[in-house]
Amino acid sequence: MTYSETDELLDLPPKVNDFCMTVSTINGSGSATSNNVLYHALFHMGIPTSGKNIFPSNIKGLPTWFVIRVSEKGYLGRVPYDDIIVAMNPETFLDDLTYLPEGGVIFYADHIRKPEKPRADLIFYPMPIRQLVKQAEVPRNLRDYMENMTYVGIVGQVLGINMESILYALKRHFGNKASALETNLKMVNIGYEWAEKNIIKKDRYFVKQLPPMEDYILTDGNNAGALGSLFGGVEFCSWYPITPASSLAESMNEQNPKLRKDPVTGKNTCVILQVEDELAAAGCAIGAGWAGLRAMTATSGPGLSLMTENVGLAYFTETPVVIWDVQRVGPSTGLPTRTAQGDLTMVYFLGHGDINHILLLPGSVNECFEFGWKALDLAEHYQTPIFVLSDLDLGMNQWITPKFEYPDCPIDRGKILWEADLDRFEGKWGRYKDIDGDGIPYRTVMGNQNPAAAYFTRGTGHNEYGNYSEDPENWAKMIRRIKKKLMNMCEVLPEPIFRNKPGARIGIIGWGSTDPALIEAQDMLEEAGIPVDYLRIRALPTCKAVRDFISEHDHTYVLELNRDGQMCSILKLEVSASYAEKLSSLTDFGGLPMTAIWATEQVLAKEMKRNG
Amino acid sequence: MDNTQTVKVERNLVGLSPVDYKGKPSTLCPGCGHNTIANQIQAALFELGVVPEMVAKISGIGCSSKSPNYFLDRSFGFNGLHGRMPTLATGACFADRRVKIIGISGDGDSASIGMGHFKHVIRRNIPMVYIIENNGVYGLTKGQFSATSDLGLELRHQGRNFLPPLDLCLEALISGAKFVARAFAGDIKQMRELFKAAFVHDGIAVIDVISPCVTFNNQDTAMQSYTWGREHESPIQDITFIPKAKEIIVEDFEEGSYREVKLHDGSTLLLKKINRDYDPTSKTAALDLLTESYEKRYLTTGLFYIEKAEQSIFDIFELGKDPLNRLPTERIRPDKATLERINAALA
């Protein structure tokens, strides 16, 4: 007996290492492990893969989808359709089917009722999951997990995923827990063997072993940010739980004891403190930064709204602090479990009065690591808050990414004066004096025993010596110097990444997690006869290279995940007026990662209109 | 004749004179209770022989929070945001644990906008002296009611206060504070002794100081005025701080009329009974006393509660004694081999 629906193979060419598979399950049913195992096994086979969890703001019961994209060409952005569906959730079954193209495949748990008149162009593989689990005599409390492990075996067998790679993935997941490994492996094997005997493959999708991706690792941006910060010598992190930023601090908590024991005393060298709210998260980090610790916090939009007053204090008192914003959809509570790039203008100008900030914009998991340690150096060197804007897609989803590289320069503590340094100033030391002409003053920190070390830090108007001042000229001088200090940073911040195409006259600009979609879109546009140069901005304020890019192209499209084109607006402010009209904004803001198809269609439509 | 007249300057244990503990001239109103507090902090630290560099002053916003500028010029200070002093103190305390933080706050700062932080910094038991300069009124914004203003208080432009006051000592007690006291700006000796004991306490020490606002809330009938305070103050003990090196001489006291409390650094607090015997190690006694004081309308002052903490926040985080803010790169950045192992584990 076979479980295939159509007896005839559809007349479609095979697709090898190029498809999108969505596992449709119920939140809280324990499918994360099985999905990660599938995903990791594909990576282990050397196939470029991305895994995205599209989940609700819910703990148990609502639909959730895990999307695995396999692309030999290395395109890792989201696609707006599925080739394969693993259906475990009866609630969404019918709707899930609408995302399948001709020849699409459905693996479904056979306790789910199939539509009476299914599309004839789809291939259905029913899976007797409950029966198999029952036969395996699994303890009741593990049944949900085992149901999920069963589909790993079945899907793996039908697509051609190596058992060896599945085993590798299981081992990585379960580590030393031998009994868990054994139970799960057993269930995968049951599914695999059942499929071998009972499924006649009729679909067009295959995976094939490729050379191993030796220079790559697999992880998420929040873990990378956490590791980058710990390698950056962070000494204090205060935080308050918020999706999608929590896992950054949690990951730090997990790694801290392993990574940050003082080699001299064996004691901890980093404090990670969950506090009462985001006001405290910012305040504690600023207190620590002021006292000479490398300090940070991690939050998302609503948390940043609460941190705003503190950010102004840090800016004006010139206190180093790093603030991660793992963006989600706003305004208000918005869509807490969906992704967006909607905090850019808020963060850039966060605070009241004359204020502006330095933003780092990682576009890959690897950059989350790199910017993790760089942000701490920049904060202390320039004595100002540094923001790192990640997002839910980058922060919480699994990505393949180049191996983390060890910091290529020593830790930069900036212009900090200790007891002996102060003697050089012969008592004329002033906390806010611009001695070097670079706008960066010298600072002392708590614990310095030199009687000339102390000064009084205040968020109110102060002169070069930190004393209270309401003098108009002094105020203007202070606020101008801070601006000068920040503007001096433009050319030392992470430079943009260029990806050029021969003969391109138009440009596209993106930032952050949309990078994979834009790389793919650039190739699609080239195929459509419109070569474009692609520039990815990695920091704000803008540097000369970005302004040159805009001036050198006939027209440039800025693509991003927010309603009003926030990056485009900032660029229009920062390029000369004559170039501002060379910029157009293209925006997508439904809460899902950008797709290359969307980006390509948008640029094509605009270009057709522009060229009449 | 020798014209240089030798002025005998008083020196303390560490060879410093009272001048070394001074701050900038106060810009608060003459007669403000906060100036008395600033003076007594200076006096207490001078007498304790604390080096000013070993103290940091952190405050919020308001008249109270300006006052750290008026004492200990040689100590680091941070006048931050309204209500957020406890957060700055929490972060700063880990930088160099030899430095003791004095947090200065007011009733607006601690009982209203920063009430959450007040309770949570106590929960964390951050080693600091937390002083509330409590005058029952917003001074810097010119005379609005605060959350410690008495029920029925009448103020110009505000009318009559229709809400009951919060008692920050009660709030501190139920949040788990292990040193809770109240002082009155009209009773400087008691205040100074309490400051000394608070400074050597190993953990957070909360002192609510009734500190009259001579401009906006000093009517004779106001609960936080000098007159009302002098008429209604009911100290529970006569307090003497005895440094660890000094011998305790108690022969003046009758048997059973005093209690000795050993402090963290080896010094002793001698608490002489005034009206009745009071056990400052009983939290329920403290809660009863404060509840009764409000009902019977006494300004009860003294050390309400003291208890030794089992472990400090530094123990909990397993931190070393070397100042964290001075650790060199090689002690705070894992080595290259560690990163290679991480990369391998993520492959």
Question: Per the domain annotation, does B33 fall within a domain?
Answer: yes
Residue A217: both structure tokens together? 């690792």
Nearest to A385 by CA among A314, A465, A485: A314
Q: Encode burial over A576-587: b for 16+ CB neighbours within 10 A, e otherwise.
A: eeebeebbbbbb
Per DSSP bridges, beta strands B237-242 and B268-273 are: antiparallel
**Cβ within 8 Å, pair B322-A265:** yes
Question: Is the Cβ pair A290, B78 closer than 8 Å?
Answer: yes
Retrieve residue A130's tokens.
């409950």
In a domain, B270, yes or no: no
| Per-residue pLDDT at B47 | 97
Identify whether residues A315 and A434 lie together within a single domain: no
In a domain, A409, yes or no: no
Residue B248 has pLDDT above 80, yes or no: no
* A212 in a structural domain: no
Same domain, A244 and A330: yes
Q: What is the pLDDT of residues A77-127, one digit of tens each?
A: 999 999 999 999 999 998 999 899 999 999 999 999 888 888 889 999 999
Residue B8 domain flag: no
Name which of A25-39, A239-253, B171-185 the model is least confident about: A25-39
Instruction: Evaluate if residue B5 carries a pLDDT over 90.
Output: no
Structural domain count, chain B:
1
Q: Domain range spanning residue A526? A: 497-610
Over range A492-510, report the average pLDDT.
Answer: 97
Which tokens in the block code for residue B345? 């584990």
> Which residues are within 8 A (CB) of B284 and not within 5 positions of it... i.e. 6 or more apart?
none
Residue B13 covered by a domain: no
Q: A171-194 pLDDT, tens per residue?
A: 999 988 999 999 999 999 999 999
* Distance of residue B106 Cα from the nearest chain A Cα, in angstroms: 17
Can you tell me the mean pLDDT for A57-73? Answer: 90
In chain B, what residues touch A236 (CB-CB under 8 Å)?
91, 94
Give the 3-state secondary structure of A364-379: CHHHHHHHHHHHHHHH
Query: B347 vs A218: CB contact, 8 Å cut-off?
Result: yes
User: Does residue B343 lie in a domain region?
Assistant: no
Angle at B186 between CA B224 and CA B243, to 5 degrees: 125
Q: Is B262 helix (H, G, I), strand (E, B) or coil?
A: strand
What is the spatial distance between Cα A224 and Cα A255, in angstroms, rounded to a whole number? 11
CB contact under 8 A, A267 and B323: no
- Quick one: tokens of A568? 């485009």
Residue of B58, B56, B46, B55 whose CA lies nearest to B22: B46
Q: Is residue A468 part of a domain?
A: yes
How do residues B266-281 score in pLDDT, each as one tens digit?
999 999 988 888 999 9
Examine the domain organization and report whether A262 and A125 are in the same domain.
no
Name the pLDDT band for B253 (thresholds 50, 70, 90).
Answer: low
Cα torsion angle, A297, A302, A308, A309, sign: negative
Predicted confidence at residue A8, as pLDDT, reads: 55
Based on the domain organization, do A87 and A19 belong to the same domain? yes
Residue A109's nearest CA partner among A139, A147, A144, A64 is A147
Tokens 């609502």 map to which residue? A62
CATH number (domain holding residue A310): 3.40.50.970
A143-181 pLDDT tens trace: 888 999 999 999 999 999 999 999 999 999 998 899 999
CATH of the domain at B62: 3.40.50.970
Are B332 and A270 inside 8 Å of each other by CB? yes
Tell which phi-psi region holds residue A55, choosing left (phi > 0), alpha (psi between -120 and 50) or beta: beta
pTM: 0.96
A2 is a domain residue: no
Q: What is the pLDDT of residues A317-362, one digit of tens each?
A: 999 999 999 999 999 999 999 999 999 999 999 999 999 999 999 9
Among A494, A529, A547, which residue terminates a domain? Answer: A494
Do A483 and A345 lie in one domain? The reply is no
Is residue A591 a contact partner of residue A541, using CB atoms and an 8 Å limit? no
A5 part of a folded domain: no
Name which of A239, A252, A243 is nearest A278 in CA terms: A239
Q: Is residue B297 part of a domain?
A: yes
Nearest Cα residue in chain A from B314: A271
> Which of B14, B61, B63, B79 would you mutate first to test chain A, the one with the most A CBs within 10 A?
B79
ipTM > 0.85 for the complex: yes
> Which H helix or E strand runs over A441?
none
**Model pLDDT for residues A524-540, shown as the tens digit of each residue:** 999 999 999 999 999 99
And the tokens for A430?
Answer: 């002033």
**A324 and A455, same domain (yes or no):** no
Do A451 and B74 count as a contact with CB atoms less than 8 A apart? yes
Q: Does residue A6 carry a pLDDT above 60?
A: no
Residue A12: what pLDDT?
Answer: 87
User: Do A526 and A507 sit in the same domain of this protein?
Assistant: yes
Sheet holding A271-274, edge to edge: A271-274, A236-239, A295-299, A321-327, A385-391, A358-360, A539-540
Query: What's the CA gap between B98 and A103, in Å, rounded?
Result: 71
* Domain boundary, last residue among A156, A180, A206: A206
Percent of chain A topping pLDDT 70: 98
Task: Give contacts of A411 with chain B, Cβ < 8 Å.
Answer: 329, 332-333
Taking only the tens place, the pLDDT of each residue in A571-606 is 999 998 889 999 999 999 999 999 999 999 999 999
Supply the pLDDT for residue B255: 62
On whether the CB atoms of residues A84 and A22 are closer than 8 A, the answer is yes
Band (pLDDT 50/70/90 cuts) for residue A429 is: confident
Worst-scoring range by mean pLDDT, A114-118, A355-359, B94-98, B101-105?
A114-118
> Is residue A414's pLDDT more than 90?
yes
Give the start-end residues of each E strand in A441-577.
Answer: 456-458, 497-499, 506-511, 532-537, 539-540, 555-560
Residue B317 with chain A: CB contacts under 8 Å: 268, 271
Distance CA A229, CA A404 (A): 12
CB of A288 within 8 Å of any CB in chain B? yes
A227, A406, A454 member nearest B75 (Cβ): A454
Instruction: Indicate whether A213 belongs to any domain.
Output: no
Number of independent structural domains in chain A: 4
Whether residue A446 lies within 8 A of chain B, CB to CB, comes out as: yes
- With CA atoms as reference, the chain B residue closest to A172 would be B345
Mind giving me the DSSP string for A449-486? --TT---EEESS-B-TTS-B---HHHHHHHHHHHHHHH
Together in a domain, A314 and A253: yes
Whether the pLDDT of residue B235 is over 80: the answer is yes
Would A9 be classed as within a structural domain?
A: no
Query: A413 vs chain B: nearest CA distance in angstroms?
Result: 9
Domain with B290 in it: 18-236+277-325
pLDDT score for A4: 44
Model confidence at A10, in pLDDT bands (50, 70, 90)? Answer: low
Q: Does the residue B295 lie in any domain?
A: yes
